[in-house]
Amino acid sequence: HNCRPVGDHSVHYYFLYPEMFGVCCVTLQVSGEILHLVFCVCISGPASVVTMLVAPLLLVLFVPFSPSSGAQLPNQAKAKDLPIATNGQPFPWDRMRLPTTVTPLHYDLAIHPNLTTLDFTGVVRIELDVHEDTNTVILHAKQMQISDVFLLAPEGIKRLKVLEYPRFHQLALLSDSVLIKGRKYEVHLAFAANLSDSFHGFYKGSYRTSSGEVRVLASTQFEATFARGAFPCFDEPAFKANFTIRIIREPRHIAISNMPMVKTVELPGGLLEDHFDTTVKMSTYLVAYIVSDFKSVSKTTQHGISIYAVPEKIDQTAFALDAAVKLLDFYDDYFDIPYPLPKQDLAAIPDFQSGAMENWGLTTYRETGLLFDPEKSSASDKLGITKVIAHELAHQWFGNLVTMEWWNDLWLNEGFAKFMEFVSLDITYPELHDDFFLAKCFEAMEVDSLSSSHPVSTPVENPTQIQEMFDDVSYDKHILAITINSCDVVVFIQHYVCLYIQKWYSGDELDVRAIMDTWTLQEGFPLVTVEVRGREVRLSQERYLKTDDPSPSEGFLWQIPLTYKTSASNTVHRFLLKTKTDFLFLPEEVDWVKFNVDMSGYYMVHYAGEGWNSIIKLLQHSHTALSGNDRANLIHNVFQLVSIEKVRLDTALELSLYLSRETKIMAVTQGFGELVPLYKLMEKRDMKVLENQMKVNLFQDLIDQQEWNDSGSVSQRVLRSYLLLFSCVRNYAPCVTKATQLFNQWKDSDGTMSLPVDITMAVFVIGARTPEGWDFLFEKYRHSLQMSVKSRMKTAMAVSPLQDKLKWMMEQSLIGEIMKTQDLPDVVVSVSKNPHGYQLAWDFLRANWHTMIKKFDLGSSTISYLVTGVTNQYSTREMLDEVRSFFGSLTEETGSEMRCIQQAYETIEDNIRWMDKNLPLLQAWLDKRNRRVSHEDL
C-alpha cells in the first residue's frame, strides 16, 4: 500500500470482513484543524466477483472558520446598498450566509414550553469568539419576539440595539463599543414564540389515547434551517458549539434532550426544571428536546440506549431496542471511533413529517419507523425499521461528528448513511438482506435523468433550495456515482492529498481523481451504446437524458469503468471508457455480451444492432445464464431506452415475456416496476380493453404458487404480499374470491380473527371496495394502536373506488383530528394513483396548496413528493395545460422556484411523447401476441 500521509498525523484503519468485504480502509488525516477522512470499501458480490466501491469523503471536523466560507462585514458599503430592517433602518449585512467575524462557542439555553397555551418562552446566553474587531453581531432568529438583549463584556453588562431582517431570518445586535478580537463576550437574549403548527422548529404534536383523550406534546425538528425558529442562534452547520440546555415542565410531563439529565430543580408554582449535561461541539440543526408524557424502555451494553413512545405503545418497542443496541455496538467497532455521547435515545413521535432525524443522542422517528408488533407487523416492516435505525445511528458519526461545511455537500452525509444501511444490515441482520441496493440505484437514476436534476455537489443558498437538496439524488447517487470496478486496486486522490495508490488495469495508472470528477461534478449519468460486429465491440457514450431538448447533453464526457461478460466467458472483464467512442476486441466471436455486470456501475447500456435480440433469445431459452441482478438491470435498461426512443416498445415487451419464468425478487420487482406504470397510464385514459389484454398474466404462475400465510424467507414474504396485492388490485378472480372470503370472516369476528400479516393488504383492499367494508375498516383504523396495521388499512382505504370516501379521507387528513396530517401526503398520492381518484387528488392539491406549503414547508421533500406523486402519471396535453396553468400562477413565495415543478412538466411531456409513439405499437403487439397465444391454444 502506497499511502502517503501529508498532515501532522495520519491513521489508517483496515478491516477485513471475509463474508462480504475484501478489504476496507479508512484513513484519517489530521492537518491543522482539518480532518480528512478517506473511506473505501470493497464488496464482493454474489458471484464472488469483487467490486470495489470507493467513497472518498473529505469532511471537515470542527471546521475552523476560513474567510472563504463566509464573508466580511460590509464596513465600507454605502448605507443605500444595504437591506432595510423592520424598523426602517439600514441592516448592516446583505448576505444569506452569516459573517465569520464572530462565532459561537457555547450556548446556555433555557426553554419553557406551555402545552396548554401552546407557546414557549426562553432565554439564551451565547458565549462568543471574536475573530475581528467589530461592533456588530449577526445571527439567526425567525418569527419570534426578542427582548432583553444584553452584552456581557469584561467591562460590564450593556444593553444592545437589535435590528431584524426577516427575509434572511437575521438579527443584528449593535454595540456602542467595539468587541475586541480575542476577548471573551457573551450575548443574552430573551425570546417568545408560538409552538409551530407545522412539523419543523419547536412544534406541537398530539395523539389520542384508546379512551379518546387528546394529549399534547412538543418536540423539535431543526434540519435544515429551523433551529432559528426555536431560539436565536448561528444556524449554519459549520458554526459548531457546545450546548447546555435546561427545560421547564409540569410534573405530569418528562423532558429529554441530546444529553442525559443531571438534575431536576423545583421552581415556585409547582414547575420543574430539568438540567441537561453540556453537549460536545455540534451544529445547531442537531439540537433536540421533547416535552411529553412518553414512557421508555432501556438497555445498557457498551452504551445506554432507550426507546421512548407514547404509553400505550411502549410494548411495541422491543425490536427497535434490540436493533439499536446491536447497531450502535457494531458502528463502534466498525468506525473504531467510540460513540461519543453517554446515551442514545430513540423517540417515536406521533406527528412527524419525514422518516426520521439524526439529532445527536436523541434520534427521532415516525411511529411506523420504530414501533413493531411481532404479531401484526410484516417482514418488510421489520426491514424498514432496521434500516431507518441503521441510517440515523450512522449519522451519529457521519453528519454529527464529521459534518459537511455547507448544505451543498449534503450528499456526503446522506450518501454515507444510506450506504451504511446496507453494510450494517448485512452484518447485524443477515437474514434481512435483500438486494434493495439495486432498487435504490434505479430510483436515483429516475431523478437524475431529468435535465433539471442537480449535480451531486450543487451550490445552494436559500432555505427553499437547502430543503430541496434532500431528495433521492443526494441520498442515493453518491454511492453509485463513485462505483469503480476492480478486484485488486483502488486509487484515490483528493484535493492536494494523494492516498492509497495501486494499479487498476493492465499496467495503466488510473487517475481516480479525474474519474471521480467526471461523476460528482457533472449532473446526470451516461448511456453507453454497445455494438458487436464479429470480434469487434464498438463503444460510445452520451448523456442519458429524458427530454427532447438536445442542448443539455452536449459537452458531457465521463470516464466509465466498464465491466462485461460474454457467452464465451463467465469471468468479469474490464475496460475503461474515457473517450466519446472506442473499440475493444473479444478473443473470439460470441452469441451475446452483457455489460455492467450485476449493475455495479452507474450507467445505462444500449445494445445496438442485433444486441437486444440476442439478449431476448438468451432470456427466453436460458435466463439463468445471467444473475438475477443482471436480469433486473436488462429489464430496467430496455424500458428506459424505450422512453428515449432508442428501443421500440415491442422489443421491450418481447423481452419482458421471459418474466413468466422469473422467480428472483429483484427481477420480478423490476418487471412490475416497468409494467405497472404502463397499466396506470392506460387506466387514466379509460382504455379498459387494451388494459385488460395487457394484464394477461405474465405473473400468473408465480401468483398461483403463493400460499396465503406468512411462511418463507424475508424476500419470499415481501414478494408474496406484493404479488397478492397486485393480483387483487388487478382483479385476478381466484385471488379476489379468496380475499373476499377472508375479509368477511374477519369482519364477522369484529376484527378479532388474526389474518396472516403478509396477506392483510390484499384482504383490506378487497374489503374497502364496498361502503360497509370501508366503514368497518375505518372504525378499526381509528382505534388500532398498531402502526403497521393502521398504515395498511389507510393505504387500502385510499385505493377504494368509492370517490366520496376518497375525498373525505383527504379532507380529514388535512384537518388532522381523526386522521393524522403527517399522513396527508401518502393519502393524496395514493388517491392520485387510484384510477377513480386521480382527478380528485389534483383538485385537492390545487385547492389546498397554500395551506400545505405552510404546514410542510416550501422546498421540503414532502412538497416535492406531493407534486411528483400527483402529476407523474398524467399523459395528456389537457392535463399538462392544467398543471402548467396552476404552477405557472405561483409566486416565488408560494413555490414557483421549486425544482420539482420543472421535473413534473418534464415527466408529463415524457408521458405524452411515450403515449403518442407507443400506443399504436402496443396495440399491434397485443394483437400479434393474442393471435400467437390462441394459435398455441389450438
Residues involved in catalysis: 392
Q: How far is the CB of 398 from Zn ion (least distance, A)?
A: 9
Q: How far is the CB of 417 from Zn ion (least distance, A)?
A: 4
CA distances from 379 to 156, 598, 756, 794 (A): 63, 25, 12, 19
Q: How far is the CB of 414 from Zn ion (least distance, A)?
A: 5
Q: If residue 782 lies in a helix (H) or strand (E), which one and from where to where?
A: helix 771-783
**Which residue number, 414 or 758, has a Cβ lying nearer to Zn ion?**
414
Which grid coordinates belong to 142? 425567525
Size of the site for Zn ion (CB under 5 A): 2
Of the candidates 279, 280, 76, 95, which has an alpha carbon nearest to the alpha carbon of residue 172?
A: 95
Return the ∠ at Cα 897 (arms to 895 and 899), rounded to 5°. Answer: 100
**Which residue number, 110 or 420, has a Cβ lying nearer to Zn ion?**
420
**Which residue number, 400 or 637, has a Cβ lying nearer to Zn ion?**
400
Q: Are 83 and 90 in contact (CB under 8 A)?
A: yes
Coil, strand, or helix at residue 768? coil
Q: Are 26 and 56 in contact (CB under 8 A)?
A: no
Q: How far is the CB of 225 from Zn ion (least distance, A)?
A: 16
**Which residue number, 345 or 392, has a Cβ lying nearer to Zn ion?**
392
Q: How far is the CB of 30 from Zn ion (least distance, A)?
A: 26
Q: Is 391 annotated as a binding residue?
A: yes
Distance between CA atoms of residues 767 and 780, nearest Å: 12
Q: Are 622 and 660 in contact (CB under 8 A)?
A: no
- HEC assignment per residue over 214-249: EEEEEEEECCCCCHHHCCCECCCCCCCEEEEEEEEE
Q: Is 542 annotated as a binding residue?
A: no
Name which of residues 595 to 634 contact Zn ion (CB under 5 A).
Answer: none
- Residue 822: Cβ within 10 Å count: 23
Strands 102-114 and 242-249, how do they pair?
parallel
CA distances from 715 to 40, 172, 721, 874 (A): 29, 57, 10, 32
Of the candidates 654, 560, 580, which has an alpha carbon nearest to the alpha carbon of residue 932?
A: 654
Chain centre distance of CA 497: 31
**Which residue number, 412 or 532, has a Cβ lying nearer to Zn ion?**
412
**Which residue number, 228 or 391, has a Cβ lying nearer to Zn ion?**
391
**Which residue number, 417 or 447, has a Cβ lying nearer to Zn ion?**
417
Of the candidates 320, 330, 328, 322, which has an alpha carbon nearest to the alpha carbon of residue 344?
A: 328
**Which residue number, 417 or 527, has a Cβ lying nearer to Zn ion?**
417
* Choices 410-418, 611-619, 678-686, 719-727 (CB under 5 A): range interacting with Zn ion: 410-418
> DSSP letters along 479-541, please?
HHHTEE--SS---EEETTEEE-----BTTB---HHHHHHHHHSSSS-EEEEEEEETTEEEEEE
Please tell me the total number of residues recorded for the chain in this structure. 938
Looking at residue 430, the DSSP 8-state letter turns out to be G
Q: How far is the CB of 675 from Zn ion (least distance, A)?
A: 32
Q: How far is the CB of 899 from Zn ion (least distance, A)?
A: 20
Q: How far is the CB of 121 from Zn ion (least distance, A)?
A: 32
CB-based burial of residue 88 (10 Å sphere; 0-12 exposed, 13-18 middle, 19+ buried)? exposed
Contact characters 412-441, Zn ion, x per CB under 5 A: --x--x------------------------
Q: How far is the CB of 362 from Zn ion (least distance, A)?
A: 15
Distance between CA atoms of residues 487 and 483, nearest Å: 12
**Which residue number, 394 or 768, has a Cβ lying nearer to Zn ion?**
394
> DSSP letters along 160-196, please?
-EEEEEGGGTEEEEEEEEEEPTT-EEEEEEEEEEEPB
Crossing angle of helices 714-729 and 733-748, rounded to 10°: 100
Using Cβ positions, the residue closest to Zn ion within the complex turns out to be 417
Q: Is 433 annotated as a binding residue?
A: no
Q: Are 169 and 193 in contact (CB under 8 A)?
A: no
Q: How far is the CB of 204 from Zn ion (least distance, A)?
A: 24
* Choices 374-382, 408-416, 500-508, 919-927 (CB under 5 A): range interacting with Zn ion: 408-416
Phi, psi for 27 (deg, rounded to 5)? -115, 125
Q: How far is the CB of 609 from Zn ion (least distance, A)?
A: 44
Which grid coordinates belong to 207? 395523539
* List of residues 6+ apart from 734 with CB closer than 8 A: 704
Q: Does 25 bind Zn ion (CB under 5 A)?
A: no
* Choices 16-24, 406-414, 780-788, 845-853 (CB under 5 A): range interacting with Zn ion: 406-414
Of the candidates 154, 194, 193, 152, which has an alpha carbon nearest to the alpha carbon of residue 173?
A: 152
Q: Does 388 bind Zn ion (CB under 5 A)?
A: no
**Which residue number, 160 or 394, has a Cβ lying nearer to Zn ion?**
394
Looking at residue 475, the DSSP 8-state letter turns out to be I
Q: Does 491 bind Zn ion (CB under 5 A)?
A: no
Distance between CA atoms of residues 60 and 776, nearest Å: 55
Q: Does 356 bind Zn ion (CB under 5 A)?
A: no
Of the candidates 254, 279, 189, 175, which has an alpha carbon nearest to the alpha carbon of residue 228?
A: 189
Return the ∠ at Cα 716 (arms to 715 and 717), rounded to 5°. Answer: 90
**Which residue number, 417 or 473, has a Cβ lying nearer to Zn ion?**
417
Query: What residues make contact with Zn ion under the rule CB under 5 A?
Result: 414, 417
Binding residues for Zn(2+): 391, 395, 414
Specify binding-site residues: 391, 395, 414
